Amino acid sequence: MSSTRRDFIRTSALASSLLLVPKFLHALDRGPGLARLGDAPGARRLIVVQLSGGNDGLNMVIPYKNDLYYRARPTLGIRETDGILALEQDLGLHPALAGLKGLYDQGQLAILNSVGYPNPDRSHFRSMDIWQSGSGADQSVSTGWLGRYLDSACPACQQPYNALEIDDTLSLAMKGSTRKGLALKNAGKFHQLTQNRRLAQVSQHTAPGHHSQVDYLYKTLAETTSAADYLYRKSSGHHSAVAYPNSDFGKSLKTTAELISAGVESRVYYLALSGFDTHVRQREQQQRLFTDLGDGLAALAKDLQQHNQWENTLVLVFSEFGRRVQENASHGTDHGTANPVLLLGGKLRKKGVLNAAPDLANLDQGDLRHQVDFRSIYASILKDWLEADEAAILGTGFERLSGLV
């Protein structure tokens, strides 16, 4: 192999790490001038927020009228005197979630309690794979539910790309068999990476057609550069005036809003907020995390409202599992099972608390029993919001939640 070809393979690690799919980005060469997604009749987008680490849902959506909750959590239990934000059905939000309470009061928040799946797994990696793939606990699936949405719903898509993850790497959720999402922290840094002089030199001196691996990497690099140029061109000059939390999560939300307001044609955005593995000192950690989450999502809603993009946006918030009902000896909680899922948007068909609070008197070996299979939520979003074939993506047997979105 020539030194040029070896250099190309080494330096093309950038393109590979960005996890793009060839075929997907040829439309980028069409240049600017695309209509905004929100201007297309019936067009809708989905923003997924992943709470990584296993969020303790019982201290997020709190059954503050239930004595069993306080018996299980004599030190961790959040009390009315702490400033619980009252909802309905004797439930309340954690005091740090004032941003979400504001959206709830405006009819822009829906809460589904006790969401999970049969035979739950308490491993972070395995349970996250299950949620991201949309599979059962007894299955191993190498594609994600949103990746399969890209595969099935957009076989001849004319948009530049369909899905963006605001991160350095791409999650399983965004990987399909033939299409994948695109991972980037922000358009400016993404564009800067592709302007690397060494990459440009190798690209110019390596002609495709000689070696299948080199051909693939050459094509991927070319399409990565094209994608970066498009995103940079579309988003330049679009800077949000809304105040977001000064955190990685806040910056990711701001980037998402700026891309949307710039007219970038993505149907799916994927973000993560990490740190929810609260085995110790949970109270302090949740205070910080929930402030970031609530204030950040409230800022996103305000930002998109200002650009007339909130009504055609749905936000899904989930975590890979909840925590044990009983607090542990380290002022934290250990890995559990079912958990609340949140839906936010300017055009929710159902609002508020949508089902019964967790049954603390009927536990499964100390864990909550799930009331709702998470794949029923996915099926509802795919069919009723994204207008996709949910059975082709998830398989059969998952009844949609009527009128959810």
Q: How long, in residues, is the chain?
A: 405
The β-bridge partners of 268 are: 46, 163
Assign 3-state DSSP to the chain and report helix, strand, coil percentages, each to 5.
40, 15, 45
Do 273 and 52 contact (CB within 8 A), yes or no? yes
Cα distances from 230 to residues 97, 131, 160, 237, 370, in angstroms, run 36, 31, 8, 14, 44
Radius of gyration of the chain (CA): 22
Nearest Cα neighbor of 369 from 308, 316, 325 is 325
Please give the helix or strand (H or E) that residue 229 lies within, else none: helix 212-235
pLDDT of residue 352: 98
> Considering all CA atoms of the chain, what is the largest pairwise distance in Å, rounded to the nearest integer?
73
pLDDT of residue 15: 45
pLDDT of residue 31: 41
Q: Which residues contact 147 (CB under 8 A, 6 or more apart)?
A: 172, 173, 174, 175, 176, 177, 179, 180, 181
pLDDT of residue 48: 98
pLDDT of residue 180: 87
Do 61 and 55 contact (CB within 8 A), yes or no? no
Do 182 and 154 contact (CB within 8 A), yes or no? no
Q: Which residues contact 218 (CB under 8 A, 6 or more apart)?
A: 8, 12, 203, 206, 207, 208
pLDDT of residue 144: 98
Strand 85-86 versus strand 92-93 pairing type: antiparallel
pLDDT of residue 96: 98
Half-sphere exposure of residue 213: CA atoms within 13 angstroms, side-chain side: 9
Per-position b or e across 55-94, b if 16+ CB within 10 A of its CB: bbbbbbbbbbebeebeebbeebbbeeeeebbebebebbbb
State how far the Cα of 91 lies from the Cα of 374, in Å rounded to an integer. 21
Taking the complete model, does pTM exceed 0.85, yes or no?
yes
What is the phi-psi region of residue 134: left when phi exceeds 0, alpha when psi lies from -120 to 50, beta otherwise?
A: left
Nearest Cα neighbor of 7 from 200, 202, 265 is 202
pLDDT of residue 199: 53
Token pair, residue 259, equals: 């891309």
Question: Rounded to the nearest 5°, which phi and psi values hold at 105?
Answer: -65, -25
Residuewise pLDDT in 10s, the chain (405 residues):
555 555 544 444 444 444 443 333 334 444 433 445 555 545 799 999 999 999 999 999 999 999 999 999 999 999 999 999 999 999 999 999 999 999 999 999 999 999 999 999 999 999 999 999 999 999 999 999 999 999 987 654 545 468 899 999 999 999 999 888 889 988 777 767 767 655 555 555 555 555 566 565 666 666 667 667 777 777 787 889 999 999 999 999 999 999 999 988 889 999 999 999 999 999 999 999 999 999 999 999 999 999 999 999 999 999 999 999 999 999 999 999 999 999 999 999 999 999 999 999 999 999 999 999 999 999 999 999 999 999 999 999 899 998 999
Third-level CATH fold of 3-28+49-394: Alkaline Phosphatase, subunit A (3.40.720)
pLDDT of residue 14: 47
Helix (H, G, I), strand (E, B) or coil at 38: helix
Break the chain into its structural domains and give their ranges: 3-28+49-394
